[in-house]
Amino acid sequence: MIMSQITKQKGRKIARKLQAKLDKKNINRPHDLYIVYDDANNRVASFTIRKGSLKDEGNEHIPRDLHLHHSEALLINNCKWWREEYFAVLRQRGMLGVTGGAQN
């Protein structure tokens, strides 16, 4: 089975759907850093998206950085999952506390 590649456009859509914040401190770097926070403002995950002009170039590290399988990241991109479903999956995996916040 051929999986759809996670392009820059898909990565940005995932960032929007997870309400990830762009880290303005890394503005002059070759990658944009996005940080996902829970409702209590605890950092849950972070990922980068290449700034390059090749919009079809893959960002295949994004699912791993979000603690997801490739197909799960595509569910977010394809409007099947939203922020709440993402947090529910992390809770099921023991990576997010019941009230939010990443588990160490």
Residue 75 lies in a domain: yes
Tally the domains of the chain. 1
Residue 101 lies in a domain: no
Convert the pLDDT of each residue in 36-79 to its tens digit: 999 999 999 999 998 876 667 778 899 999 999 999 999 999 98
Can you name the residues that pair with 34 across neighbouring β-strands?
Answer: 22, 47
Residues contacting residue 71 through CB under 8 Å, at least 6 positions apart: 3
> Which domain range does residue 69 map to?
8-92
Residue 98 lies in a domain: no
Q: Whole-number mean pLDDT of the chain?
A: 87
Residue 13 lies in a domain: yes
Residue 1 lies in a domain: no
Among residues 64, 66, 59, 104, which one has the least CA distance to residue 85? 66
Tokens of 70: 């490739």
Among residues 104, 6, 98, 96, which one has the least CA distance to residue 44? 96
Residue 2 lies in a domain: no
- The pLDDT confidence band at residue 1, using thresholds 50, 70 and 90, is very low
Residue 104 lies in a domain: no
Convert the pLDDT of each residue in 36-45 to its tens digit: 999 999 999 9
